Amino acid sequence: VRANRFVSELKNLDPAQTNVPVVGGHAGKTIVPLISKANPSVSFDQAALEKLVHRIQFGGDEVVQAKAGAGSATLSMAYAGARWAVSVLKAMNGAKGIVECSFVESNVTDAAFFSTPIQFNKDGMEKNLGLPSGLSGYEKDLINAAVPELKASIKKGIEFATK
């Protein structure tokens, strides 16, 4: 949701009609927006792209700073969760072609869990579509940087859950 909003603002697009797949994880550099796969297609020079990606990755910090430490970006997370749930419910009610990036158990990378585009149907997750082909070198580098941090977070989460 954040990636869609920030890209749409920079390109004067309708955020409701903008889709930027975000893969990886949910915190900092594990958040990898695939700007090259945005729909509608957009482009940025490298400096603007790096600034945009950083803002997407650390946008939650922006909210905390704006609230002077008295809050977080929970409304954004709630909206994203609600949007995801509505999409899954549509698929479970028979809608076809429902795809949402989702953090699932995966063998797409070395991380045991990884967010990628997932196709849903009436039974839930139909297919992990994996990473799209034709990613930019910059996006591949972002994914490679995200995986070690994501693996460490997953390990901590599993250790906590199994105590």
Residue 151, both tokens: 């693996």
Catalytic residue list contains 26: yes
Residue 87, both tokens: 């999409």
Distance in angstroms between the alpha carbons of the first and the last residue of the chain:
34
> Which of the following is catalytic: 10, 11, 15, 26?
26
Q: How far apart are CA 20 and CA 37, in angstroms?
A: 7
Which sequence positions are flagged as catalytic?
26
